[in-house]
Amino acid sequence: MSREGARDQMSPSGALMDTPEAEFNARDYRPINSRDINHLKEMAEQSPRKRYRFCLHSSHEHFTQEMIICLHGFNYFQPHRHPIQRSESYHMIEGEMDVYLFNDTGECLDTITLSASGKRYKEEDTYFMYRLSAPLYHLMIPRSEWTIYHEVLTGPWDKETVVEYASFAPSEEDAGEVVSYIARITGSTIEELTK
């Protein structure tokens, strides 16, 4: 859907619909409450990929791309990186996820466990927020039925220049390869990950 067409369609949360998986804030200020989280969950359940995002900024051109992202069950985002002088952070709101960091050849450099509650592991091994300020490949793996997080990325957003996908990992469309890749990286099946 074009941005022009989206401007005529408001979501129940009072935002501008952008795609079947995203909407933009249309207000000068925007507090977020449990009603908004419930809306995100409803929209994620209806989405073919079981994900939905509420963009707190008003357009792709904004210099701060700030979103609340809701994932229902397992979701795969092909490992990717962002150019130098772009930073990205995740702050957990609900649920848990692991963030895998890779070098250029696909070797895992670190795994960061993020949890809104901090209960999965010992407290010192689990974090509620992380920031990435280098062009490292990263992969997010949801570990709960609902995974909701606040993401901030340096804008503006242009997928062709902001996202470089890793050649060492399968694309999202290659479902069979994704299953094998996730099992190899995590040591778990997709079904086990969000139990």
Task: Give pLDDT, residue 116.
Answer: 94
How do residues 134-184 score in pLDDT, each as one tens digit? 999 999 999 999 999 999 998 888 888 889 999 999 999 999 999 999 999
Contact 15, 35 (CB under 8 A): no
CB neighbourhood size of 15 (10 A): 23
**CA dist., res. 188 & res. 49, Å (int):** 21
Question: What global pTM score does this model have?
Answer: 0.87
pLDDT classification of 1: cutoffs 50, 70, 90: very low
List CB contacts of 78: < 8 A, sequence separation 6 or more: 139, 165, 166, 169, 170, 171, 172
| Euclidean distance between CA atoms 32 and 98, whole angstroms | 25
Please say whether the beta carbons of 51 and 44 come within 8 A.
Answer: yes
Is the pLDDT score of 47 beyond 70?
yes
Whether residue 98 has pLDDT greater than 90? yes
Mean pLDDT across 67-96 = 95
pLDDT of residue 8: 43
Look over the chain and give the mean of its residue pLDDT values, rounded to a whole number. Answer: 88
Amino acid 163: pLDDT: 92
CA–CA separation, 186 and 184 (whole Å):
6
